């Protein structure tokens, strides 16, 4: 095996390692990000409810808003249980955070910041592509129910 083949193997391994570690880390982080977005969406819905509907319409609409509010609270509790063990942060979460940072630094050291940025962008694009191409029949969450 020549030096070029060895570098290519290292490069592919680091990409695989980055991908698998980032996916594991994102399983923790995405839930907290989702809560922030869910809460913003809920506030926007509540504002629209106050401004745009007649009292009779608001009452029927309220049950969906309350359901969404309960869904968000349930998700937040599940997130806290996932990320924290008692009052301490889950050691697996901490390890994944440190490991991901180490992998990123290794890629930058061996292949440069520009190459790391290319890998990170490719990972993002691939993740978005998979989401958009998901063909499973899914109902949108209405009032917190799937």
Choice between 136 and 11, residue whose per-residue pLDDT is larger: 11
Domains of the chain: total: 1
Residue 139 lies in a domain: no
Is 143 a residue whose pLDDT tops 60? no
Q: What is the pTM of this model?
A: 0.77
Q: Using only C-alpha atoms, what is the Rg of the chain? A: 21
Residue 68 lies in a domain: yes
> DSSP secondary-structure letter at 112?
-
Highest-scoring range by mean pLDDT, 22-26, 29-33, 82-86: 22-26
**For 51-80, how does the pLDDT look when each residue is reduced to its tens digit (9 = 90+)?**
766 777 777 788 888 999 999 999 999 888
Q: What is the mean pLDDT of residues 120-129?
A: 96
Residue 103 lies in a domain: yes
Is 140 a residue whose pLDDT tops 90? no
Query: What is the distance between the terminal CA atoms of the chain, rounded to a whole angstrom?
Result: 53
Query: Partners of 142 in the beta sheet?
Result: 145
């Amino acid at each position: 095996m020549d030096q070029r083949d060895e570098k290519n193997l290292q490069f592919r391994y680091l990409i695989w390692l980055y991908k698998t570690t980032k996916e594991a880390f994102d399983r923790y982080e995405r839930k907290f990000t989702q809560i922030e977005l869910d809460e913003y969406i809920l506030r926007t819905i509540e504002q629209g409810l106050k401004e745009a509907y007649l009292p009779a319409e608001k009452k029927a609409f309220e049950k969906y808003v309350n359901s969404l509010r309960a869904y968000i609270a349930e998700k937040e509790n599940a997130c806290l249980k996932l990320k924290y063990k008692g009052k301490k942060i889950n050691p697996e979460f901490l390890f994944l955070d440190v490991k991901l940072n180490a992998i990123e630094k290794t890629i930058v050291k061996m292949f440069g910041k520009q190459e790391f940025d290319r890998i990170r962008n490719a990972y993002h694009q691939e993740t978005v592509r998979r989401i958009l191409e998901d063909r499973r029949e899914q109902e949108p969450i209405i009032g917190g129910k799937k």
